[in-house]
Structure 1
Amino acid sequence: MNQNQIIIQQAIKACIDKNAVTFASLFAENGEIILNNNRKILKPEIAKVTADYFANLAYINIEIKNISVAENKALIDWTWQDYNTLTGKQNCQDNVISIHFTSGLISSWQENKVLSQLLC
């Protein structure tokens, strides 16, 4: 397993464990997350924004469908499931995550929803 594959596995585990600090630590100083609504979250905000999101979730389940890793890029095809205790709603979404790496860390994490409808 190469360094980029290790980072991907650590990121997935951090999400499932709802560990925003660990998740944020995997990003380069100029790293960013780009969400479906084109909202950019820059490195200084990643831990706080992620922690705020995780705070209301009872659980996160991630089913990996495919991971494709090239030299400095990766694509993850997964199904994300969570339960929001604040809203009382379960979320289930197929996503493709596009990741770029710089110097062994994530420089860009872009989330793209797949347009299929899932039944959770």
Structure 2
Amino acid sequence: MQPETVQSIIATARDAWIEGNAEQFAELFTEDGEFVVPGQVWRGKSAIRDALADFARSGSEVDIAIQRIMVDGNQAVVEWHWRETNPQTGKQTTAEDAIVVDFRDGQISRWREYIDNKS
């Protein structure tokens, strides 16, 4: 895939998380796509949509800053900084994420996050 296309897809994914737009995030994936974070795996657009919708219901405010995107063919590695704020308590949680993304036919077939919330 062209790096510009990958960058656009990743930016759309970031925006979907910030806006809590589960439909937009899920539509980036193939029908059999996988979304993997430590300890959890969601398979298929419906499950991926539900994962983001469940998170969005928490009401947390999210800010994501993309640090870099490296593209190699149909794979990409993304580094981004995640900040989540609980609107009720004001408590902030931050994490540095490395995300390995596989693409097929212009969509995400696998999104695998490695999350560091200790640094």
Q: TM-score by structure 1 length? A: 0.86
For residues 76 and 59 of structure 2, the distance between their equivalents in structure 1, rounded to whole angstroms, comes to 27
Of 84-93 and 65-74, more deviation after overlay is shown by 84-93
SS in structure 2 at match of 1:16: helix
- 1:2-56 superposed Cα distances (whole Å, 9 cap, x missing partner): 322221111111111111110001000110111112x110122111111111211
Indicate the residue corresponding to 2:108 in structure 1.
106
SS in structure 1 at match of 2:60: strand
Indicate the residue corresponding to 1:5 in structure 2.
7
Q: Structure 1's 41 and 50: CA in aligned 2 closer, same or farther, altered over 3 A?
A: same
For residues 53 and 78 of structure 1, the distance between their equivalents in structure 2, rounded to whole angstroms, comes to 18
The residue identity in structure 1 corresponding to 2:12 is Q
For residues 52 and 18 of structure 1, the distance between their equivalents in structure 2, rounded to whole angstroms, comes to 9
- Whether contact under 8 Å (2:60, 2:84) holds in the other structure is yes
Gaps of 5+ in 2: none
How much is the aligned-residue C-alpha RMSD, in angstroms?
Answer: 1.8
Task: Please state if 1:15 is matched with 2:17.
Answer: yes
Gaps of 5+ in 1: none
* Fraction of identical pairs, as percent: 33
For residues 95 and 76 of structure 2, the distance between their equivalents in structure 1, rounded to whole angstroms, comes to 19
- Whether contact under 8 Å (2:70, 2:78) holds in the other structure is yes
Q: TM-score by structure 2 length? A: 0.87
The residue identity in structure 1 corresponding to 2:67 is K
- Whether contact under 8 Å (2:99, 2:112) holds in the other structure is yes
List 4+ stretches of structure 1 deviating above 6 A.
Answer: none
